[in-house]
Chain A
């Protein structure tokens, strides 16, 4: 028991340093997902038929294949095949980004459809182009509405980022495994890793809830207004 505690005490700074890599992966992936997801959502709601088909296929693929398989497929397979020499962290960030983009696209699509069509018409009637209407009127509302679902997606991606160690990215899990293989204190170390993830998830979700409250519009609720 005492031995476990001292191992944890010694290892903790080393493990916590891993949360920097984890943070880079998660923030990067969520931002890629945001950009790509918004683009695809616009494609699904306002795009031509072929755009909707392409986006539909993308979503079907990335929502149907396990993250682990995608990591192997891209890191050992496609990235190499295309001659892209990404580091493990970059590769994980991109793969998780593409995965969460598929889910975020659906989140944003739902939000777009929940905004009354009349507002788009009104923007057009004032002389705004479709692009102006989307960026000035639709997106500001879509982003606000999407925060709760986005926060859920964040917690999923944070947890999925723990798979990065399978391709050797030096994040929390990889570091824990490294220490555990030397000290044989698997149980206390993995519990510690779990706690670090728990705290990260919790603070991220709390932060996003604060953001949600900050940008809330008085009297406005997206459930039917």
Chain B
């Protein structure tokens, strides 16, 4: 399985909110360049798992390895440094509402990476160009469409030079006609070899991009395998049933 040393590895992650057990001991490995896709019913723990990977939600137990070393999440310095190298894309973008698209990217470069304002601005422009928004830098989040906001969010994450990208349903909050532009950006990232783990319901992303599909249900990974293994005709897996339903919905919409 291990083609190379995994960049990010977690073992036995558990998390409960009150009496609700959301994650019941999940483990996974992300080798360099791998693209893993989380699917499964909502409430299955996908989003919590992703947020545990960079400790936005602190796991109750479990271990996180990054670049071969254990991350000590009790030490805030180490945690902040770890998070810099793990980019995250959220379902509802979470752009900073008081900053322009450009400044959304600049602020982390200046405050976290301590870049000079000039350097940060150049880098931010490059990233905005990459996602096709070079001319929109002066606009505020409220002036952008959903798809544009998500592309800014991706540019913001990429500007930090992350080793891994976590994507939490990046297209779910978008109007159907805006999904395409974001999917295109994610595809081009995949072609450039970015290591990614993504929760998504976007059937085209699942089929074409995934090296491995992880089907999450009730806080556990219920199935894992390549798209061919899990989605092949008549293989009767949970994943296949789930994707068939997604297909039906997609069919009705188009």
Which residues 181-225 of A have a CB within 8 angstroms of B?
A: 217-220, 225
Answer yes or no: B65 CB below 8 A from chain A CBs: no
A116, A118, A125 — which one has the most chain B CB atoms within 10 A of its CB? Answer: A125
Task: Identify the stretch in B13-21, B80-88, B218-226, B237-245 within 8 Å (CB) of chain A at 4 or more residues.
Answer: B80-88
Chain A, interface SS category? helix
Residues of the A chain whose Cβ atoms lie less than 8 Å from the Cβ of B92: 116, 118
Answer yes or no: A179 CB below 8 A from chain B CBs: no
Which residues 59-118 of B have a CB within 8 angstroms of A?
A: 76, 80-81, 83-84, 86-88, 90, 92-98, 107-108, 111-112
Taking A124-B56, A126-B157 as contacts, is the C-beta distance between A144 and B112 under 8 angstroms? no
Taking A122-B88, A217-B140, A225-B142 as contacts, is the C-beta distance between A128 and B97 under 8 angstroms? no
Task: Identify the stretch in A7-15, A22-30, A103-111, A129-137 within 8 Å (CB) of chain B at 4 or more residues.
Answer: A129-137
The distance in angstroms between the C-alpha atoms of A128 and B107, with both chains bound, is 10
Q: Find B98's partner among A118, A127, A128, A140 (CB 8 Å cutoff).
A: A140
Residues of the A chain whose Cβ atoms lie less than 8 Å from the Cβ of B93: 118
Interface residues on B, range: 20 to 34
Residues of the A chain whose Cβ atoms lie less than 8 Å from the Cβ of B83: 124-127
Answer yes or no: A17 CB below 8 A from chain B CBs: no
Q: Find A128's partner among B86, B111, B141, B143 (CB 8 Å cutoff).
A: B111
Distance from B128 Cβ to chain A, minimum over Cβ atoms (Å): 16
Which residues 123-179 of B have a CB within 8 angstroms of A?
A: 139-143, 153, 156-157, 160
A-B contact list, 19 entries, CB within 8 Å = A116-B92, A118-B90, A118-B92, A118-B94, A119-B96, A121-B56, A121-B94, A122-B95, A125-B54, A125-B56, A125-B86, A126-B108, A127-B80, A127-B84, A128-B112, A217-B140, A218-B142, A219-B143, A220-B98
Supply 19 further A-B pairs (C-beta < 8 A) apart from A122-B95, A127-B81, A217-B97.
Answer: A116-B92, A118-B92, A119-B94, A119-B96, A123-B108, A125-B83, A125-B157, A127-B108, A128-B111, A129-B76, A132-B111, A141-B96, A217-B142, A218-B143, A219-B140, A219-B141, A220-B140, A225-B97, A225-B142
